[in-house]
Chain A
Amino acid sequence: MPKHIASGLKYLAALELVRDGYSQKQISKMLNVNKSTLSHYLNGRNISLGSIEIAEIVREFSPRDFLVFTDAIIEDKEATKTIVKTCLVNKYSVEVKDSCIGCGICVDTCLIDAIVLDDLKAHIDSDICCGCQICAEKCPTNSINILEE
């Protein structure tokens, strides 16, 4: 069953990526799906309508639940990152305050590698950030603010 939902999520992401103009070759790499399976997806075959329906419900989850859920069933970090980026369209403004001590807890916590440390301070890439707030909650100095734009 998790595999079916995973396929559903990949299907939803693939549709978005086609719309964004990526080739099937690129998409198969980005989602870690072989090309023929992808082609079936895009032609609406070999995927049950139920899986798509559940995937669409999952897409309505909060960003945090969506990310944690996707991360758990996809088992591939790059594919998870692609799905999160394509399915969650909200933009977030991120601020790391000067009270950041550069401990790197946020870097370790972020499931989609949106954070790096530079000069003992965390830097969050707002293009990647999905607004899950996990880093903000774990930050020992409450230095992270993530707001929906």
Chain B
Amino acid sequence: MAANIKEVKAKDFNVERSAEEDRELSFKDESCVGCGVCESICPVGAIKLGSVGAIVRNDIDESKIEIDEEKCVLCGMCSVGCPVDALEFTVDGTPISEIETYPKLISSAEIDDDTCIYCKACERACPREAITVARQLPDRSKLVTGEIDIDKETCIDCGICEEMCPADAITIDQKGPEDFDIAVDKDKCVYCLVCKKACPVDAIMAACRTCSYGEYDLDPKDAEVTGKALIDDDACVRCGWCEEVCPVDAAKVEKPFEGELNLDLDKCTTCGACVDVCPCDVLFFPKSSAPGTIDDKLMKDEQFCIYCGACENVCPVEAIDVKRTGIKCTPTKSKSWQKSIDSLKTN
């Protein structure tokens, strides 16, 4: 029988067996959050979770999980259980997420481009830097209307207008001691009239048409921001921060696990390992509310928790209890697979 072939590339690995079918398991350390679901679901004990706390805190340079290719039977269960798609399993080159007989965790994160206003709130909030908002801003010149002209005969080349223009629209080109050109970039000018007011010799004639006549000749469509919000599926952990911060409800997130996150503050020693390891920015140390006051040792924003269990694994004093009460997964006819998936629930 064909033996497994393991290939290690930096912190990533591939395990492969080619016989009747080509089966391949690939691990991407960058996506891995060190939750240990793969270790607990593996039916043959081939996966070992590394020292995730030390790895996340850059104390050691190692892969978050280790696999024993002698033990691995390439069944694919770890890939199905992984909530962050760090383990991909393919059969004859097809990912099992696309093969119907294999179950699949149900999770998603989407940003609706029709609703999105490209404010980048999600991009700033995302703890995994998984969101990129690419946006096209409107032309400034189409949002204002007016007239401006500088009388070069009157102008004394003092440079005050150039220095004061908040839009950097005025340029003076000094060719010689008394020889100069002065120009206004009408794509930049917003007809604020600061130059006109500041000019010591009244050389600038300018008027804002919007102030005098309203916005009748401006097309509101010219003010629209267009773009695209992109989610990097490899980095996204479905925490829901984007959904929470989106001011127009354009982001929708479905998490694969349901559960409870319980902190035992009597046991907590505030070592901070959980805060560092949490992929979802759920756990944090509170700022003292006033001098001399003692607040809670550790706080949580549980709405962003994906119940992966990484914090529980790194806590050295068992102060964290992550309960998984529900696993959202597509059905499978295999009883052993169903049993394994159900085993991810904690009692």
Contacts and interface: CB of A to CB of B under 8 A. Distances in A.
B75 A102 contact: yes
Interface stretch (B225-233, B255-263, B302-310, B332-340): B332-340
Given A101-B337, A138-B1, A120 B74 contact: no
A50 interface: no
A120 B339 CA distance: 13
A108 B3 CA distance: 10
Nearest to A134: B1
Given A108-B1, A108-B2, A120-B334, A101 B101 contact: no
Contacts of B336: 98-102, 120-121, 141, 143
Interface string A70-99: 000000000000000000000000000011
Interface in B309-347: 332-337, 340
Contacts of B102: 120
B43 A120 contact: no
B21 interface: yes
A109 B336 CA distance: 21
Overall SS of chain A's interface: loop
Contacts of B74: 103-104
Nearest to B340: A101
Contacts of A118: 101
Nearest to B73: A103
Interface in A131-149: 138, 140-141, 143
B20 interface: yes
A12 B43 CA distance: 44
Interface string B1-42: 110000000000000010111010000000000000000000
Q: Which of under 10, 10 to 19, 20 to 34, or 35 or more describes the interface residues of B?
A: 20 to 34
Contacts of B75: 101-104
Interface in A96-128: 98-105, 107-109, 118-121
B44 interface: yes
B273 interface: no
A140 B1 contact: no
A107 B74 CA distance: 13
A108 B17 contact: yes
A47 B2 CA distance: 36
B290 to A, nearest CB: 57
Contacts of B333: 119-121
Nearest to B77: A101
B16 to A, nearest CB: 13
Nearest to A97: B336
B335 A98 contact: yes
A141 B334 CA distance: 14
A118 B20 CA distance: 14
Contact of B73 (A98, A99, A105, A119): A105
B20 A107 contact: yes
Contacts of A140: 43-44, 73
Contacts of A143: 336
Nearest to B71: A140
A119 B334 contact: yes
21 contacts: A98-B334, A98-B335, A99-B335, A101-B73, A101-B77, A101-B340, A102-B334, A103-B73, A104-B19, A104-B21, A105-B1, A107-B21, A108-B19, A119-B101, A119-B332, A119-B334, A120-B101, A120-B337, A121-B336, A141-B336, A143-B336
Interface of A: 98-105, 107-109, 118-121, 138, 140-141, 143
Given A100-B336, A107-B19, 11 more contacts: A99-B336, A101-B43, A102-B334, A104-B74, A107-B21, A108-B21, A118-B101, A119-B101, A119-B333, A120-B333, A120-B334
Closest 10 CB pairs of A and B: A108-B19, A120-B334, A103-B75, A98-B335, A103-B73, A119-B333, A101-B75, A140-B73, A109-B1, A140-B44
